[in-house]
Chain A
Amino acid sequence: MGLTGLEIFKQLPKTNCKDCGQPTCLAFAMSLAGGKASLDACPHVSAAAREALDSASAPPIALVKIGVGDNAIQLGNETVLFRHDKRFEHKAGIAVSVCDTMSADEIAAKVDQVNKLVFDRVGQTHNVNLVAVGNCSGDAGKFAVAVKVAAEKSNFPLVLMSEDASAVEKALEITAAKKPLVCGANAANVEAMTNLAKKFDVPLVIKGADLNELATLVEKVVGMGHKQLIIDSGAREVNKVMADQTQLRRQALKKFRPFGYPTIAFADNADAFQAVVDAGVYIAKYASIVVIESADPADVLPLITLRLNIYTDPQKPIAVESKIYEIGNVTADSPVFVTTNFSLTYFCVAGDVESSRVPGYILPVDTDGISVMTGWAAGKFTPEKITDMLQNTGIADKVKHRKVIIPGGVAVLSGKLGELSGWEILVGPRESSGIASFLKQRWA
């Protein structure tokens, strides 16, 4: 999105002096918007205006990196309010917190637990991203010890949660090389914190008492020359957090620069169920980092799953793994269905096989996640591929019969498929909703 003529015109000196070669400032703004002129042609434009125009052409939400190496995470660069408009770009980071009031052994044990929060979802691994160390004791020495233990144990980047600049400085001396996130600055400590973040070149959380104070503080920090920021409106009740998160994203997309940074939210409800639900809201509503207290896999798995779903690209078809699926209590006599691995197709067929009350096997052929008819038209749902599945998945060892049911839409494949595979091909109904009656008539 380029700059509009009006946005440029508002930044021009409005002298109409013609030094740029255009008859008026308005005409000059128009040619800038059209990419036909350069701002350098105007000798009277102020430094502030130049800065405003430069930053306006930057992405609406800055990209901020936390940590180093393989486990570093990138946040921000989001461009939409709704995922269906385009996509959500950078998965929210999930941070699990430990407190410096815990003993070194307790901290080490909990960080170990966090390291193990790695889950296998649809053939990919997903994990939490950060360990947040809280300065709950208020003591700089204790905080340094806790940070040291966490930094040695953790596979993931750290979030240093303290509003005491001297405590943060000690912690940074231990772990600055790993680029932790400092959390953070507020109205009272903003200068000291910003100077530390600049000195150690680490990202910094800015917390305002409300949106207005947040905007003021961010402008101050940017004015001091630090731009690796994560922002926090200070809200803690879920409804208020959600309202603020929405405002932050909305204003950022409208190019309100002080809110053009990723956000952090805290799901610290004492009730574990409530904390997970709260964190779910924050994942859906624009938070770039969500800090939780629980390292219990049962609490984290639903959040990992929700995050994965929310951050998938709606424009790319979603595929299921291409393998044998057993629906119900299958036996060696159960029917075998072939379909494609487009998730919509697979779940349609799976649902209808289930409701037919006849246990069955489903083999979704890998068509790169496209549907039966699309896959057939694209040459991705072929007799060769289906034969490959029948021979190499082990389905032949699971059933005594050699009959396979194919979708009615690709009846034309049956001859070639029969020859290639040696299986008897039954042409099923065109729609999977016909599976139940098809089985009644054809599968004794």
Chain B
Amino acid sequence: MILIGERINGMFKDIREGILGKDPAPIKHWAKRQFESGAHYLDVNTGPTVEAQDQPAVMEWLVNICNETVPLPCCVDSTNPDAIEAGCSANKHGKVMINSTHADQWKMDLYLPMAAKYNAAIIGLAMNESGVPKSASDRAALAMEIVVNADMHGVPMEDLYIDPLMLPANVAQEHGIEVLEAIRQIKALAPGVRTTLGLSNTSQRCTNRHLLNRTFLIMCMAVGLDSAIADVDDEALVDAVAAANILLNKDIYCDSFLKTFRQR
């Protein structure tokens, strides 16, 4: 299970102030803290307050700080292709991840060649400009579009992470079961293709967010989820992932499996 730490995002006040004040301290703090919590990737997002023309430079600055602080690859999270490219070329550890393309042709034509060029992993959202599909099979059909295009561009299936898109449980309750079924179907689309999930969406504006998030995460893991963008600061969530890894026979059991999982 690959955990992508979500916290370095300009939507959060401390990160936003760090970016605006050119203060690396909060970015360093969260890079280190997420690394220690067991993250495998650091999601890096400039947030919407940074002007579009400044986003590439800010992205590069963020990735560099992360790289200097911890030996983790970054998951470059932006809707701005120049910012994505800047992040890809700045990343120095492991395999950079692009977050994200969706199933519209113009977007795939932009980002899949970029993934091939930088030998990057890439997240593909199972949606298009008409929005998030309702049923599992519609999600899988859009995922298939991304799979076929990735294959054409020579992006290995192991580097493609399809996100079936979870919506908040309070307003879109019927989506949960569709997402579970979609993950099952996506795993059957092509040998080796991976799945991911923007997990915190599950509990947007709900109570008991941590409980909802980790419960859904382990349900998804059971049907083949390979990674998640999540709050790794939530100790119970990381514990649940470690436990699920044991129960899915992905890690060899030992009494100290919680500690072992965090040591990677």
Contact = CB atoms under 8 A, between A and B. Distances in A.
B189 interface: yes
Chain B interface secondary structure, helix, strand, loop or mixed?
A: helix
A33 B141 CA distance: 12
Contacts of B144: 5-6, 9, 26, 29-30
B206 to A, nearest CB: 33
Given A9-B148, A26-B148, A4 B189 contact: yes
Q: Considering residues B140, B151, B190, which has the most beta carbons from chain A within 10 angstroms of its beta carbon?
A: B190
Given A33-B188, A33-B189, A6 B141 contact: no
A10 B190 CA distance: 11
B188 A2 contact: yes
B190 A26 contact: no
A355 B140 CA distance: 62
A33 B147 CA distance: 14
Interface residues of B, number: 14
Interface residues of A, number: 14
Contacts of B239: none
Q: Considering residues B147, B151, B185, B189, which has the most beta carbons from chain A within 10 angstroms of its beta carbon?
A: B189
A25 to B, nearest CB: 10
Contacts of A254: 191
A7 interface: yes
Contacts of A34: 137, 185
Chain A interface secondary structure, helix, strand, loop or mixed?
A: helix
A427 interface: no
Q: Considering residues A4, A7, A10, A254, which has the most beta carbons from chain B within 10 angstroms of its beta carbon?
A: A4
Interface string B147-162: 1100100000100000
A27 B188 contact: no
Interface in B112-167: 137, 140-141, 144-145, 147-148, 151, 157
Contacts of A33: 188-189
Contacts of B145: 26
- In the A-B complex, list the 10 residue pairs whose CB atoms are closest, starting with the nearest: A6-B190, A5-B189, A4-B190, A5-B144, A6-B147, A4-B191, A30-B144, A26-B144, A4-B189, A4-B188
Interface of A: 2, 4-7, 9-10, 26-27, 29-30, 33-34, 254
Interface of B: 137, 140-141, 144-145, 147-148, 151, 157, 185, 188-191
5 contacts: A4-B190, A6-B190, A9-B148, A10-B151, A30-B140
